[in-house]
Amino acid sequence: MPCLYFLCRVLMGSYYVQVCLRCRSLLCSKTTATTWNFSTQVRQCTTVTRGADKILNGSSFFRGSHRTTQARQGWKPQVFCYSDLTAKHLATESKDGKFTEELSRADVVAYKSPLLPVSDAVPGSESQMPLDLDAAAEVSALEVISDEEAISIPVPDAMPPASTSLKDYVDKSETLGKLVQLGVDLWKLEQRPNVGSMLLRLDFNTDVAPRLLFLKEIGVEESRFGYIITHNPFILTASLENLQTRVNYLKSKKFSSETVASMVSRAPYLLNFSVKRLDNRMGFFQQQLNLSASNTRDIVARLPRLLCGSLEHVKENLKVCEIELGFKANEIQHIVIAVPKVLTASKRRLTQIFDLIHNTMKVPHHLITKFPQVLNTKYLRVRERHLFLNYLGKAQYDPNLPNYISLDRLVSLPNETFCTELASASLEDFYVFQKTL
């Protein structure tokens, strides 16, 4: 029994020791947390105080001793309110122990020390410094300022700093205004990369006017200036010497001055290519089609964009005419001389119109070669007229048979003449028939 009693006393003693240790650790942790929170608040308040002192001593925000005194008086209630709020917070923590309360009071006494102006202190952030906006300096519209201050006032730029459209610069840029008067479509140019900025950098008198005078000297009409610049704005940055060299080359190939002016008007990019490239293009068409120099000049003069476009499309159309359509080399030559647009037409359009004429209308190759303009006619126009003649029983395209209708008259006559001379019907009958298709 005595041993059991002694063992119980020992266990109870160890239990009380553990309880005391837990209470002590809890009290220390709360005291440390309270001390840390309060010291953080004191540092924040000190930052605010220093920031306030710096603002009070600064000359950029306040003018005169009267405003400085008002600003300082405005800061004091805020500091005292902050001090009272801290004291209330410490009073609520006093329930945790006497040691905590004594420590808090000691810190409060240290905190309530008089404020000293610190001119080199680091200013606090906007969230830490409540600034009195009424005390800020405002420049009156009637206030007299010096010449130096007037010069320092920022003035907005004459042109917008950035825009997605050239129309915002037309009223400010002499170059753009003159280009609009010439008939240039700026809305087309602004969709092309880097062209808008290039035009804004140009000076009308030194960059644009000399090129326009050059075009006028070679015979280009002024009414075509807008079309040329709209499709080829880079001619405004080309060297005048290079432009003159290319014109001289075309004249050396026996193109007349009127022909050169017409070619430049219809193919604005013509003068952007070097003499070597122009010569290679001329040689390609002459060798590929086995043409004479005169026929080559005639084809290029009638369709000058042949010298500017891709040769791959031209080669493809020549293969289509030879392999798919079945024309011979001399027939292709005759067709190209008569209708150069065959070289630039789409493959689908060529095969579609040829299928209608050759397979549906039963027109042989030699008749198509004799009237190659039919290959450059709208498919719907030929189809409607052929079906109308076939409906009337007059679709006869063989020259060896009576009531022969040539392909030339079939596609070239206007509707009224076609109805009266070829179909022997009224125009109203043809319109009614079109509605049935």
Exposure string of 249-281, with b = 16+ CB inside 10 Å and e = fewer, is: bbeeeebeeebbbbbbbbbbbbbbbeeeebeeb
Determine the Cα–Cα distance for residues 190 and 199; give it in Å rounded to an integer.
Answer: 10
pLDDT of amino acid 24: 52
pLDDT at 159: 56
Q: Write down the pLDDT at residue 345.
A: 93
- Residue 171: the pLDDT is 83
Tell me which residue of 176, 203, 202 sits closest to 190, measured CA to CA: 176
State how far the alpha carbon of 164 is from the alpha carbons of 181, 297, 301, in Å.
21, 44, 39
Rounded Cα gap, residues 355 and 363, in angstroms:
10
Confidence at residue 309, expressed as pLDDT on a 0 to 100 scale: 87
Among the listed residues 182, 221, 216, the one whose alpha carbon sits nearest the alpha carbon of residue 199 = 182
Q: List, for residues 131-171, the tens digit of each pLDDT value.
A: 444 444 555 667 888 888 878 877 655 555 666 678 788 88
Q: What is the pLDDT of residue 149?
A: 81
* Angle made by CA atoms 197, 304, 237, in degrees to the nearest 5: 25
Domains of the chain, residue spans: 29-123
Residues 86, 289: Cα–Cα separation, whole Å: 101
Q: Enumerate residue ranges in the chain where pLDDT < 70.
A: 1-141, 155-164
CA-based torsion, 120, 121, 126, 132: positive or negative? negative
**How much is the pTM?**
0.61
What are the CA-CA distances from residue 72 to residues 48, 115, 316 (Å)? 13, 11, 88
